[in-house]
Structure 1
Amino acid sequence: MSKVKVHVFLKPGVLDVQGKAVEGALNGLGWPGAANVRVGKLIEFDYAGDDVQAEVKRMCETLLSNTVIESYRIEVA
């Protein structure tokens, strides 16, 4: 059984509306040094199977990310 983490973020150049909202809120609450905020998602799960890295990559390409506008990073422990 492998512990898997998939980090998904919008690609550079894709407008991150949620990130801009968080940045504005942080600045408004007194943290003016917060800039270029990007919001992503973390997907964690256990996976039992062979060639975990390849299978999780297939999951990302099929369901877990929109590869047109998002990139992902896989961690397997």
Structure 2
Amino acid sequence: MIKARVTVTLKNGVLDPQGKAIKGALSSLGFEGVGHVRQGKVFDLEIEERDRSKAEADIKAMCEKLLANTVIENYTIAFE
């Protein structure tokens, strides 16, 4: 079994209204000095595959087809 963590974030230059709302909420809770917030999402995957290169290719395909909107989002894959 191969485990991987996919992190998806907005590309630079793409507006992040949720990040802006989080920054405002942090400020209203008294957390001053937060200059910028960008939000994203994380997917933890377990692949029942023994061939690591096949698993890497499959996870990349998952990102390209479903997990990330590659027009406005970047993704990174980290394997355990």
TM-score (norm 2): 0.89
SS of residue paired to 1:23: helix
**Which residue of 63, 67, 76 maps to 1:64?**
67
CA-based RMSD of the aligned residues comes to: 0.9
- 1:1-77 matches, cutoff 5 A: 1-49=1-49, 50=51, 51=53, 52-77=55-80
Q: CA deviation at 1:29?
A: 1.2
**d(CA) in 2 for partners of 1:17, 1:7:** 19
Instruction: Mark the runs of 5 or more structure 1 residues left unpaired by the alignment.
Output: none
**d(CA) in 2 for partners of 1:22, 1:68:** 23
Structure 1 runs, 4 residues or longer, greater than 2 Å off: none
Q: CA deviation at 1:64?
A: 0.6
**d(CA) in 2 for partners of 1:48, 1:4:** 11
Deviations 1:28-73 (A, max 9, x none): 1111211210110000110022322222111101111000000000
Aligned residues: percent identity? 51
Instruction: Mark the runs of 5 or more structure 2 residues left unpaired by the alignment.
Output: none
